Structure 1
Amino acid sequence: MSKPTLYTCFSPALLHLYDVKRTIVVVIDVLRATSTIATALYNGAREIIPVDSVERCIQLGTQIECITAGERDGQVAPGLQYGNSSFEYPESFIKGKILVLTTTNGTKLLHMALAKGATEIITGSFLNLSAVCDHLIAMKKNVILGCAAWKDKPNLEDTLFAGAVVSKIKEHFSINCDASHIAENLYGIAKDDMYEFLKKNDASHYHRLANYGLERDLRQCLTPDIANVLPEYLDGKLVLQR
């Protein structure tokens, strides 16, 4: 029996090059959307509604009882209540609540994958690395690791996460994809201290968040399996897969 395929897409701008139909798409936005999604659901959020604009987020906030949150360029977007830091969503605050979330890059990729006919969409971050890998192995379906990037430009942190996934599940897939090999090799170099790797290599998002004093967020977002749940996109919402 032939193995399913695995591809890595470094940017939403490249998604049109891949056959998204009949695939599981893993949306990766390590700094910080998919890390926040894993954290909020792990801490008991009822559901997360990802939207692609601040305006839509604000609109939903007037229609349903929810928390409106999101960022633009790493800062809380005007008109929203909260930002995109996982530290803002402890269990004592988020349990049982609906979170409406908009981000610069992650929600854009999610909606693109949906429009292109993905079989399933899940979100991945280092915080739920094992849950993602275990699910992809169990499903035995074609996979695209979709990096949200930064305004369509590839970034190091999403590529590192894709590489971590490839390194853990490659024996179960047919991988004829240079992007996946690039990601895996980069992860092999960085895995012992990814924070220092991003810092030493002048990662753009490292500087963006560090300039806002968010080093603690950076370290949190690079820590494996501390919110090890599987967020799945169903009927317009991200929920925990049962």
Structure 2
Amino acid sequence: MSQKPTLYTSLSPALLHLYDVKDTVVVVIDVFRATSTIAAALYNGAQYIIPVDAVPRAVEISREVGGIAAGERDGKLAEGLSHGNSPLEYTKDFIENKILVLTTTNGTRLLHMALANGADDIVTGSFPNLSSICNYLVKQGKNVILACAGWKDRFNIEDTLFAGAVIDKVKEHFTIHCDSSLMAHNLYTQNQSDLLKFAENLTHYHRLVNRFGYIDDIEFCLTADVADVLPLYKEEKLIRG
């Protein structure tokens, strides 16, 4: 019997260096909101997305490619960017056939860290594209790292919750001996019946909802398969896989 590939969960960007990302599928997870926004934009017909780690770079590249400079810092629209990091902004009539240049506090930074560590198979995942991610992981048959973006290198629950949802769907296909994966899976299975209710306790929920009123964003970000597309990183772009 052939050996199953392994699956690990990295709970924070600060822990990513502990994992070998070579010949591995790295799933970048930033549920509130970068990877939900990426799924929404590609699902609604964006040509592609260029994820960048700095605001001035996003502005510069968007000018070069005639794209939309978008993103946030600390949950709000960053100076110099024309659009934010709300998945609900990127409707079909707005984003179709356009190029999105996106920079966010945690998610796009983590993607660049994975690249710097030698990752060559990167996808981005959140609840809106849960099934596409799971299907891809099973089909690739490679080792997997579920890389949670957290918040400024700190642990957060919503990204871990999504890692648990992935594990719940793909666990038969992988060898999983990893306490962070076990915790993620337990967290998800205990709360899957009402993720939105559970999310009301979360730090990032309070940051986004109480300060900025983004309750509709949160609901979208926690809803499975509403933008079921595979964002695949190729040649410095996220494309529909």
Q: Normalized against structure 2, the TM-score is what?
A: 0.98
Structure 2 residue aligned with 1:38: 39
State the one-letter code of the partner of 2:89: E
Q: CA deviation at 1:228?
A: 0.4
Separation (CA, whole Å) in 1 of partners of 2:75 and 2:135? 31
Structure 2 residue aligned with 1:55: 56
Separation (CA, whole Å) in 2 of partners of 1:70 and 1:35? 12
Q: Secondary structure at the match of 1:21?
A: coil
Structure 1 residue aligned with 2:107: 106
Q: Secondary structure at the match of 1:145?
A: strand
After superposition, the C-alpha distances for 1:106-156 in whole angstroms (9 at most, x for unaligned) are 011101111111130000000000000011011100000000000000101
Q: State the superposition RMSD in angstroms.
A: 0.7
Separation (CA, whole Å) in 2 of partners of 1:207 and 1:231? 28
Separation (CA, whole Å) in 2 of partners of 1:194 and 1:103? 24
Separation (CA, whole Å) in 2 of partners of 1:114 and 1:158? 19
State the one-letter code of the partner of 1:213: G
Matched, 1:207 2:206: yes
Structure 2 residue aligned with 1:12: 13
Structure 2 residue aligned with 1:219: 219
- Which consecutive unaligned segments of at least 5 residues does structure 1 have? none
After superposition, the C-alpha distances for 1:144-184 in whole angstroms (9 at most, x for unaligned) are 00000000001010000000000110010000100000000
After superposition, the C-alpha distances for 1:32-57 in whole angstroms (9 at most, x for unaligned) are 00000000000000000000000101
Q: Which moved more, 1:109-118 or 1:152-161?
A: 109-118
After superposition, the C-alpha distances for 1:68-114 in whole angstroms (9 at most, x for unaligned) are 10001110101100000011110001000000000000011101111
Alignment of 1:1-242 (within 5 A): 1-199=2-200, 202-211=201-210, 212-241=212-241
Separation (CA, whole Å) in 1 of partners of 2:190 and 2:216? 22
Separation (CA, whole Å) in 1 of partners of 2:227 and 2:113? 26
Q: CA deviation at 1:59?
A: 1.1
Q: Normalized against structure 1, the TM-score is what?
A: 0.97
Separation (CA, whole Å) in 2 of partners of 1:138 and 1:58? 37
- How many aligned residue pairs are there? 239
Separation (CA, whole Å) in 2 of partners of 1:8 and 1:145? 5
Structure 1 stretches of 4+ moved >2 Å: none
Q: Secondary structure at the match of 1:31?
A: coil
Q: Secondary structure at the match of 1:192?
A: helix
